[in-house]
Amino acid sequence: MKRAATRLCVLLLALSASAAMAAQNTPPAPPAQAPTLLAPPSLSPPPLSPPPDVAFGAYQRGDYALAMREAKKRVADNPKDTAALALIGRLYAEGAGVARDHKQAMEWFKRAAETGGAQGVYLYGAALLSNAPGPKERETARGWLEKAAAQNHAAAINLLGEMALDNNGVFADFEKAADYFRRAAELGDTDAKYALGELYKHGKGVAKDDGEAAKWFKSAADDNHAAAMVELAILQFNGSGVERDLAAAAKLFRKAAELDNAVAQNRLAYLLAEGRGVEKNLAEAVKWRDRARGAGLQDARLDQLLSEQGAGKAPAPVQPPPKR
C-alpha cells in the first residue's frame, strides 16, 4: 500500500472538476413545487449552467501563469473560494509557473481548509501528513482529516485508514483501518476498495474471505486500478472466492500489463509461454518478460522456462565500460 508520506502529488490531484464547480458558489435549485391546475406556462428563461472554471482549465492545459492570475482574481472576489485557494497552493507546491515554495503552498492550503469545505480541509491535512512529520504533527494532520471525514470526504477517510495501518511505525490497527477503508470504499474511493480487498484476502482486521476480496478487487478494477486487476486475476486463475476462469484472468493481466504494472507483465509472460488462458506466443512472452525486467522484476524461473522452450535468453546485464 502506498505510504502516506509519498502521496502529496497524487493527493493534490484530488482537485476534481466537481470540486471546482462546487467552488462557484452556485445556490442549489429550489425544491420542485406541486403543479397548479391551468397554470400559465413560465416565461422565465431556463437556468444557466455554472460558468466554466477558467483557472483550473488553464492549469490542466499547462498555462500556469493564467491559472494563477485567474485563481487570485477569484480569491480577490471571494476570499472563501476553496477551489481557487487550493489551486494556488498546488501551483506553489508543484513549482508550476512559479518558484516552488513549500511555505507559501502550506499557507494557501491552510486558507483553503479554514473555509470549512471538505476538499480544502482534506488537502491541508494531506499536505501536513506528506512532510513525514513527528507524532505531534501527525495528530494535527489527523485532526484536519477527521474534519473532512466528518463531511464524508472519501479520500480523507481512506487516508485515515492508511494512517491506522502505518501509525507512525508503532503498530498497525487493522480493525480500525478496515472500518475506514469500508467507509471510503462505499463512498466510491478506488484505493480504499483495493485496500479493503487486501484485508479480506489476508484476513487482517476482518475474517479472511476470498469472495469479499474478489468483490472489492473487481470494484477497484472496474475503476482502472491496475494492482486490483492483478489481485482479481490471481483469484480467477486459482478459482479462489470466484469461479476459475483462466481466460478472464489472462485478459485482466494483459490490461494491467498495458498500464505498466510489472507483476501483471510477469504473470502474462508466464501465461503466454505456457498457453494457459491465452494462445501460446513465445515472442510476446519474451516481450512482456523484458518489460517486467525493465521495471526491476527479475524472475530466473521465467527466464529458464522461456530458454527451455527456445525463446530468447534473458538479456545479459549491461557491463560498465573498462577503466582507462
Domains of the chain, residue spans: 56-151, 245-315
Whose CA is closest to 180, among 165, 169, 170? 165
In CATH, the architecture of 245-315 is Alpha Horseshoe (1.25)
Q: What is the pLDDT of residue 135?
A: 76
Whose CA is closest to 119, among 88, 167, 80, 151? 151
CB 231 within 8 A of CB 213: yes
pTM: 0.76
Q: What is the pLDDT of residue 295?
A: 96
Would you say the CATH fold of 245-315 matches that of 56-151?
yes
pLDDT along the chain (324 residues), means of 10: 40 37 36 36 48 86 95 95 92 93 92 92 91 79 96 97 80 93 98 98 97 98 98 98 97 98 98 96 96 96 92 52 52
Whose CA is closest to 191, among 235, 212, 221, 171? 221
Cell of 174: 487493522
How deeply is 51 buried, as exposed, middle or buried, from its count of CB atoms within 10 A (0-12, 13-18, 19+)?
A: exposed
Query: Which long-range contacts does 302-311 make (Cβ < 8 Å, 24+ apart)?
Result: 302/266, 302/269, 302/270, 302/273, 305/270, 305/273, 305/274, 306/269, 306/273, 306/282, 309/273, 309/282, 310/282, 311/273, 311/282, 311/283, 311/285, 311/286
Q: Which CATH superfamily is domain 56-151 in?
A: Tetratricopeptide repeat domain (1.25.40.10)
Q: What is the pLDDT of residue 2?
A: 41
Q: What is the pLDDT of residue 143?
A: 95
CB 158 within 8 A of CB 189: yes
